[in-house]
């Protein structure tokens, strides 16, 4: 069975239960999960909402990141889903999870997965602030 159990970019709401179910197997002793949500503030400003846009290569890059994390850590499964489109405050923007025989490796792998995904996958955030200003985050 492949270690990459779920790797998608979607316009529809993300579901934590789907991610957890994708990693279900009897050999797993630990599952770690990170859920990134849209917050109502950034840099001292109130955020009204945001839009995520993905480059056409983003899914391939995300799969590469998942494969690299699976190869570098002793994990049984890796899952990553990211939302694109318009999101409201409180919406789930990204979910990553890993499983392993023990918690330590799963924690380390999940941290590496979200950090590398944020650094390398070309998904950009356009924030709209309460004062009418806006900004792009993560663009080249």
* pLDDT of the chain, 140 residues: tens digit per residue: 579 999 999 999 999 999 999 999 888 899 999 999 999 999 899 999 999 999 999 999 999 999 999 999 999 999 999 999 999 999 999 999 999 998 899 999 999 999 999 999 999 999 999 999 999 988 77
Which range marks the domain in which residue 118 is found?
Answer: 4-137
* Residue 14: predicted pLDDT: 98
Give the total number of structural domains in the chain.
Answer: 1
CA distance 48 to 33: 26
CATH of the domain at 82: 3.90.1170.40
Instruction: State residue 24's pLDDT score.
Output: 94
Rounded Cα gap, residues 108 and 128, in angstroms: 33
pTM of the model: 0.95
């Amino acid at each position: 069975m492949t270690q990459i159990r779920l790797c998608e970019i979607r316009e529809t709401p993300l579901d934590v239960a789907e991610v957890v179910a994708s990693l279900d197997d009897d050999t797993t002793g630990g599952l770690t999960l990170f859920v990134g949500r849209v917050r109502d503030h950034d840099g001292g400003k109130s955020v009204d909402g945001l839009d995520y846009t993905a480059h056409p290569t983003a899914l391939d890059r995300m799969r590469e990141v998942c494969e690299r994390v699976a190869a570098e850590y002793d994990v049984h499964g890796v899952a990553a889903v990211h939302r694109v489109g318009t999101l409201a405050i409180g919406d789930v923007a990204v979910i990553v999870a890993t499983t392993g025989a023990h918690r330590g490796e799963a924690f380390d792998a999940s941290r590496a997965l979200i950090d590398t995904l944020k650094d390398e996958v070309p998904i950009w955030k356009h924030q709209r602030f309460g004062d009418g200003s806006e900004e792009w985050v993560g663009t080249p």
